[in-house]
Amino acid sequence: MYTLKLALVAFVLASLAFVQGTTAVAASGYTLFGDAQIVSGGNPGNAAQLRSDASPGYGGVDFDIPAGLTVADLANLSTDYKFTEASCGGGAPRFQLNVSNGTISGNIFVYIGPPPNYTNCPMNIWLNTANLVTPVSLVDTAQIGGIPYDPWAHVVVAYGSYAVTGIQLVTDGSWFFGGATQTVLVDNVQINDDTYTFESKDSCKNGGWRDFGTFKNQGECVSFNARGG
């Protein structure tokens, strides 16, 4: 019940992100919303910084998805993440899968952090979620008539035909920490075969090309990112 309450509160906050007049920053394959920005200090290169504080209370990345994607098609979902303020908690950060079967619409929440409470993530260290949609992975399908701890194998059986109409990575858990700022960096986000690294040719400047460990010089790095990676 506690996790369900967190999920419902988180959904309300996240929903506000799409109806309030916030500035969205579009880039290749994704759009930033709320208090989100691209920063240096990724793993390596750039990262998306998602922040939740008193106002607007949320930050996230909305990813482009291919037409016709269904829940059953989703086989890989992961990210690198690092907390720089506060920790995981309050149902955040999380992936949100916007799903619909034409009659029922809602979100499947895929929480980041150690289950069952998804709290107490360490600070100032890069971690990786590993794949969050393996057959034994637990996700929250309460919003579409399921349960808070639903194994992905069951989700595919019960909701596999549902269309995935959107995928976001969002944090909005400031309230869980008494209003303290919650800040998390995310990088190398994987959605099936697509990887989002938040890089541009500017990531290569001022010695940034060395952070990648793969380029011989700045020009090679700039050329690579100018072509889209």
Q: What is the pTM of this model?
A: 0.81
What was the pLDDT predicted at 3?
43
CA terminus-to-terminus distance, the chain: 44
Q: What is d(CA 45, CA 27) in angstroms, rounded to the nearest whole number?
A: 16
What was the pLDDT predicted at 200?
63
Domains of the chain as residue ranges with CATH: 2-198 (2.60.120), 199-229 (no CATH)
Q: State percent of the chain over pLDDT 70.
A: 76
Q: What is d(CA 140, CA 72) in angstroms, rounded to the nearest whole number?
A: 16
What was the pLDDT predicted at 54?
85
pLDDT tens for 34-46 read 999 999 999 999 9
Q: Do 82 and 124 contact (CB within 8 A), yes or no?
A: yes
Q: Do 53 and 182 contact (CB within 8 A), yes or no?
A: yes
Give buried/exposed letters for 26-45 (b at 16+ CB in 10 A, else e). Answer: eeebbebbbbbebeeebbbb
